[in-house]
Chain A
Amino acid sequence: MSDRSEKERWDGVKDLLGDHPVTLGGHWSFNLRNDPKRLAFVLSRYKLAAKLACKDRSVLELGCSEGIGTPILAEFATRYTGVDFDEDAIATARRNWTDPRFEFVAADLTQERLGRFQTVVSLDVIEHVEPEREAGFFQAILDHLTPDGIAVIGTPNVTSVPYASPQSQIGHVNMFSAERLAERLRERFRFVFPFGLNDEVVHTGYSPMCHYLVQIACGPREVPRD
């Protein structure tokens, strides 16, 4: 038998954890209070992007909000920049994620340039972009990619609209099917690989029944110019 009680052993484990409290901002506090399982769905999309497109690469996240996905995307990246036009969300991200390898910028990337990255990840953004500004969104991605760049785009499937919450329905002005997203990406990239998610499960099943779409695009067709 050990000379330490279970409680003493547990306290020792706790000491190893350090002390890094995180206070979530309005967006994620709302999500966790109203639909906590959504955290699993969202983190799963980030893990997919991280595993396939972020290891040993410079990463720009377009629409990072409060940075809930930052630690996952940045874990094996060479550097990470999160951008959002919501200043409050960026302030929350900066407060919570203080690793010097992380950078957060409040900006509209259709108006500003932040340099080139090997990977651009943009989840839950394009469905909020008005259709007439959609081309500008894709151009902003291309403008921030290196010639060997990878883009990871995630968005809810248009077929899931009838089941979306009222908040989602108000914000979602440009819903995509897998076919339309792949078409838009193929116009701009040589290779497009489509995935679907239902809840946190990533798969390659029949696309109209996927709740969420993630497509990995690589080989930008235009050689980027600054």
Chain B
Amino acid sequence: MTERQTEWDAVKQSMADAKPVRLGRHVGYWFHATPRRALYATSYAKFAAKMIGRGKRVLDIGCGEGLGTWLLAKECGAARGVDFDAEAIEVAQANWSQEPGCSFSCGDAFELEGGSYDAVVNFDVIEHVYPEHAGAFLDGMLRLLDDDGVVVIGTPNETAKQYASAVTNAGHVNLYTAERLEAELRARFEYVFMFGANDEVVHTGFAPMCHYLLALGCGKR
């Protein structure tokens, strides 16, 4: 055996104890249908984590399979993921429940109790909430938030609808423009900072050309 092989075996051995991660139906679909989607979703979660900072308790509403929740727990200190999809929560728990600070529960976003989180986030959720329920959904986020807490909401831009797949459009009943998302948050927060993303790049460019919207709110009213 060459010296190089021996070294690589040592590297491999150091990683051998990592528990295998099993991607479920949703993230598995990303990898099969639009593999870059995993990059974008991870980038949004990282952006939120950096805005939230360290030593914080985060609630991730509509966490799906919990990859973003785990990233938030790892970067911010602790995160709880909630989703009404029991199958997704099973995948999330199997993969990440044993990691420090990371927990999940199956539940309805409208019925969550027990607030005072330092941050409440959701990605790719509000566009699935019927417009007549969206106000209650946002108010629910506020109830769960500490006075000094921040929210981060990510959702595809309405202007990108024309390019979305049939599968994607089937679920999207409430797409936002940057203006509407900002207005809904301004009604609830003293400060709102709007970002856009194209692919994995988060920026502050011209809103109608952003593929994805990321809104940061703080100072709850």
Contact = CB atoms under 8 A, between A and B. Distances in A.
A204 B42 CA distance: 13
Contact of A191 (B203, B204, B218): B218
Interface stretch (B24-32, B43-51, B80-88, B121-129): B43-51
Nearest to B147: A190
Interface in A114-156: 148, 150
Contact of B193 (A47, A192, A202, A216): A216
Contacts of B219: 148, 190-191, 218-219
Interface string A95-119: 0000000000000000000000000
Nearest to A206: B50
Contact of A218 (B46, B50, B191, B194): B191
For the residues of B in contact with A, the DSSP-based class is: strand
Given A203-B202, A204-B46, A219 B191 contact: yes
Contacts of A13: none
B180 to A, nearest CB: 16
A202 B203 contact: yes
Contacts, number: 43
B72 to A, nearest CB: 14
Interface residues of B, number: 17
A183 to B, nearest CB: 12
Interface residues of A, number: 18
Interface in B173-221: 190-191, 193-194, 202-204, 216, 218-219
A193 B203 contact: no
Interface of B: 46-47, 50-51, 53, 148, 150, 190-191, 193-194, 202-204, 216, 218-219
The 5 closest A-B pairs by CB, nearest first: A51-B204, A204-B50, A191-B218, A218-B191, A52-B193
Given A52-B204, A148-B190, A218-B218, 11 more contacts: A47-B204, A51-B194, A148-B219, A190-B218, A191-B219, A193-B51, A193-B193, A193-B216, A204-B51, A204-B202, A219-B190
